[in-house]
Structure 1
Amino acid sequence: MKHITSRDNAQYKDLKALATSSQARRKAGRTLLDGVHLCESWLQLRGLPEQCIVSDSGLLNPEIAALVRELEAQHGHCLQLPDALYEALSQVEHGVGMMFLVPTPERAAPAALSVNAVLLDNVQDPGNLGSILRSAAAAGISQIFCSPGTAFCWSPKVLRAAMGAHFVLDIFENVPLAPLLQDAPIATLATSGYAKQKLYDVDLKGPVAWVFGHEGQGVSDALLALARHRVVIPHLGQVESLNVAACAAVCFFEQVRQNLA
């Protein structure tokens, strides 16, 4: 177990940059997973982190202490910080005192759509993005394509909202979405409040690529024009539309319902 006690330590400064700067995370190709649940999920699904960071008080937590022993038994790297230094890294209020430093996977996007997928057009709220990833993973969707204007998937807020969904999804970022939709070999569906076709009238039993857009502006006109189906979710209340994360969840689980029927 390595100990750092100074804010001026070079390694600590690197961790502080990753904790506070999206630009630093993108440049380094790394991010921080904050909290026992995310750390356990990573360990179970992806293996050892680059480093485990724990606070002095965190080590008094039996669950964290057991995880640290497991990591050290596998020759994982662990770093212990005083509570004050750890809390300056953590984005979680009243966190338990454990983080993982992990690489952010960079994958080349496939040239064509072939399996259930989600295409995100300028979805900018981290909470919405994380919720969409979580619902997609729960619905058995495997691929996520994010346009250049979509929020960074590996930011702390998105990671917390997704609750480990990142680790079972293939996520492709900064991907132009139009070429994927042109002549796509599978069904492509974009949601729009102005569409005439209802979601529940579309056959969703085969592979589907879902297209969801910006929280305020929706899917761009260019992408709407390329989608094979433009669908609306009917609702009875007087609100204008659903939140994009709620909309995505309804769509995903209508597909699940049809495939289980």
Structure 2
Amino acid sequence: MKSITSRDNAFYKELKQLATSSQARRKAGQSLLDGVHLCQSWLDLRGAPSHCVVSDGALGNPEVAAIIARVGALHAPVTALPDALFGAISQVENGVHIVFVVASPTPSKAPALVEASVLLDGVQDPGNVGSILRSAAASGIKQVYCSPGTAFCWSPKVLRAAMGAHFVLDIFENIDLAPLVRAADIPVLATSGYASERLYALDLRRPVAWVLGHEGQGVSSELLDLATHRVAVPHAGKVESLNVAACAAVCFFEQLRQLQA
């Protein structure tokens, strides 16, 4: 295990850039996984990280010690930082101070829509994107396609909200969604609060592609026009619409309910 004590260390400066700059993460093709749960999930599902970084104060934590042992067995580097230095690279308050540096997966060219999928059309809030990824993974969906206006899926906030869902999904970013929808071999269901079709009236016992839109503007008119169905989630009361992440969860698990019935 190496130790860094200077803020001027080149590797430490790189860590701070990865922690604070989306542009730096995209340019480097790397992300930070912050906390015990994400690090354990990466080890379980993907293997060794590029680097493991831990604070001096966390070295006595049994869960951290177990992670470091697994990382060492995989011959990946481990570096310890003083608590004061570690604080600048972690966005988790009162968390256990361990992060993995990992290569952000870059899947090959996005495949055609042939199995259960999610298309995110300008969903900008990282918490919403992470929640949608988590619900997608939990309901058995495998592929997620993101338009250029959607929050970067490998940002720290999205990673924390998804709680490891990234590691079991194929995520395709900066995708022009319209050509995918035009060429789809499965029904495409675009959610809209103004749609006449109701979710619970649809037969979802087959693969479909769900289209979810921007928090305020919803799915674009182009994708609404291209979709096989425009779908609304019925709700009672005077609330105009559901949060996009809540809408996604209702849709995904209604499909799962029908498949398992």
Classify the TM-score, shorter chain.
Answer: over 0.9
> Which position in structure 1 is the counterpart of 2:44?
44
What is the alpha-carbon distance in structure 1 between the residues aligned to residue 254 and residue 109 of structure 2? 27
Answering whether residue 52 of structure 2 is matched by residue 25 of structure 1, we say no
Over residues 42-100 of structure 1, what are the superposed CA-to-partner deviations in whole Å (9 max), with x where a residue is unaligned? 00000000000000001011110121122212222100000001011001111211000
Q: Which residue of 2 aligns with 1:63?
A: 63
Other structure's SS at 2:59 match: helix
Assess if the C-alpha contact under 8 Å between 2:110 and 2:172 holds in 1: no
Superposed displacement of residue 33, structure 1: 0.2
1:17-45 CA-partner distances (Å, limit 9, x unpaired): 00000000000000100000000000000
Unaligned runs of 5+ in 1: none
Corresponding residue for 2:117? 117
Aligned twin of 1:126: 126
Q: Which residue number in structure 2 is paired with residue 5 of structure 1?
A: 5
**Structure 1 position 109, deviation (Å):** 3.3
Structure 1 counterpart SS, 2:6: coil
Establish whether residue 254 from structure 1 lines up as the match of residue 254 from structure 2. yes
CA offsets, 1:93-147, max 9 Å, x none? Answer: 1121100000001113334111100000000000000000000000000000000
Q: Residues of 1 paired with 2:98 and 2:191: CA distance?
A: 39
Deviations 1:166-200 (CA, angstroms, capped at 9, x unpaired): 00000000000000110411010000011000011
Query: What does 1:127-146 correspond to in 2, within 5 Å?
Result: 127-146=127-146
Superposed CA RMSD:
0.8
Q: Which amino acid aligns with 2:162?
A: A
Kindly indicate whether the alpha-carbon contact (under 8 Å) linking 2:58 and 2:96 is maintained by their aligned counterparts in 1.
Answer: yes
Corresponding residue number in structure 2 for 1:164: 164
Counterpart secondary structure, 1:203: coil
Instruction: Name the stretch that deviates more: 67-76 or 215-224.
Output: 67-76
* Separation of aligned partners in 2, 1:109 and 1:210: 20
Residues in 2 aligned to 1:66 and 1:132: alpha-carbon distance in whole angstroms: 30
How many angstroms apart in 1 are the aligned matches of 2:42 and 2:13?
A: 24
Q: Structure 1 counterpart of 2:100, which letter?
A: F
Partner AA of 2:153 in structure 1? C
Corresponding letter in the other structure for 1:4: I
Equivalent-residue separation in structure 2 for 1:39 and 1:198 (angstroms)? 40
Give the equivalent residue in structure 2 for 1:223: 223
Which ranges of 4 or more aligned residues in structure 1 deviate by more than 6 Å? Answer: none
How far apart, in 2, do the equivalents of 1:65 and 1:234 lie?
A: 49
TM (norm. structure 1) is 0.99
Task: Check whether the contact 1:109–1:175 (CA below 8 A) recurs between aligned residues.
Answer: no
SS for the counterpart of 2:212 is: strand
Partner of 2:75: 75
In the alignment, is the contact (CA less than 8 A) between 1:137 and 1:169 conserved in 2? Answer: yes
Match of 1:35 in 2: 35
Q: CA deviation at 1:204?
A: 0.7
